[in-house]
């Protein structure tokens, strides 16, 4: 395993993710909402920045991209279908594309729902998944542009990935999601355990992410929805929870 990851908190509850590929020394970042917190971490570690991976066009995911590119000469990767509303793309990508990152690579997975042009990145080396605002720990993103059926299909695309896959989500929404999840499945013991673990982590000011896909399969009411209809009902209920 040569790719490692580190969360960089940004704005109120965003996470940007710093990636390092140890063989080549390549450095990447996923969804820099702001430049300053990323620069602080890079400077402290004496690192440059080679690649900026964008999952979708929302300002709290792309806000720092241009400044980081200008400062480090990093290349910006994003969905070519959303090029008109993303920072200028150096590497426009689409479903199934492999983005080289040192000796590793990221596979692009199109996951419409939160936005229509939303993509996720999967690094088989490191078993890392960056779902942006598609999937959260015990939750899913709001349906700003897509339908529940689209989001359900997007979730299904993660089904082939191993349980060990680490989810590096775009926000620290876990505690609120855990409350909603328990309202759906009050008798789920895995969920009760995760609820307590999350409460302890948050009380200590610690991140609840990354989390394994295996844990999510046991606790996330949206992964556990059997049909697109059930998924949609849960998403609607969460909107007003």
Question: What is the contact surface with Zn ion in residues (CB under 5 A)?
Answer: 58, 133
**Minimum CB distance to Zn ion, residue 143 (Å):** 11
**Could you tell me which of 68, 221, 240, 212 has the C-alpha nearest to residue 152?**
221
**Minimum CB distance to Zn ion, residue 190 (Å):** 28
Q: Which residues contact 18 (CB under 8 A, 6 or more apart)?
A: 5, 6, 7, 8, 27, 28, 29, 38, 41, 42
Distance CA 191, CA 182 (A): 7
**Minimum CB distance to Zn ion, residue 233 (Å):** 22
Between 147 and 188, CB nearer to Zn ion:
147
**Minimum CB distance to Zn ion, residue 114 (Å):** 6
Taking a C-beta distance cutoff of 8 angstroms, is the pair 37, 10 a contact?
yes
Sheet holding 14-21, edge to edge: 3-10, 14-21, 26-30, 51-53, 75-79, 91-93
User: What does DSSP assign to residue 237?
Assistant: H
Between 144 and 241, CB nearer to Zn ion:
144
Q: Measure Cα distances from 26 to 22, 146, 161 in Å.
A: 7, 34, 24
Q: Three-class SS of residue 192? A: helix
Between 2 and 147, CB nearer to Zn ion:
147
**Minimum CB distance to Zn ion, residue 58 (Å):** 4
Between 20 and 61, CB nearer to Zn ion:
61
Distance CA 66, CA 138 (A): 32
Between 20 and 56, CB nearer to Zn ion:
56
**Minimum CB distance to Zn ion, residue 172 (Å):** 14
Between 133 and 216, CB nearer to Zn ion:
133
């Amino acid at each position: 395993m040569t790719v490692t990851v580190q969360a960089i908190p940004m704005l109120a509850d965003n996470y940007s993710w710093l990636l390092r590929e140890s063989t080549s020394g390549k450095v990447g970042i996923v969804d820099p909402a702001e430049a300053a917190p990323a620069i602080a971490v890079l400077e402290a570690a004496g690192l440059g920045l080679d690649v900026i991976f964008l999952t979708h066009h929302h300002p709290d995911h792309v806000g720092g991209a241009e400044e980081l590119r200008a400062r480090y000469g990093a290349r910006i990767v994003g969905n070519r279908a959303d090029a008109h509303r993303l920072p200028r793309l150096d590497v426009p990508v689409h479903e199934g594309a492999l983005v080289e990152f040192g000796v590793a690579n990221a596979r692009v997975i199109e996951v419409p729902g939160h936005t229509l042009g939303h993509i996720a990145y999967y690094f088989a080396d490191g078993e890392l998944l960056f779902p942006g605002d598609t999937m959260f720990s015990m939750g899913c993103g709001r349906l700003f542009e897509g339908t529940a059926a689209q989001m359900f299909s997007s979730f299904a695309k993660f089904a082939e990935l191993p349980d060990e896959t680490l989810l590096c989500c775009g926000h620290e929404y876990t505690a609120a999601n855990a409350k909603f999840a328990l309202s759906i499945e009050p008798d789920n013991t895995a969920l009760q355990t995760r609820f307590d673990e999350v409460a302890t982590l948050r009380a200590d000011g610690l991140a609840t992410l990354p989390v394994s896909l295996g844990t999510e399969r046991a606790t996330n009411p949206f992964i556990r929805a059997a049909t697109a209809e059930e998924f949609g009902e849960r998403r609607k209920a969460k909107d007003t929870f």
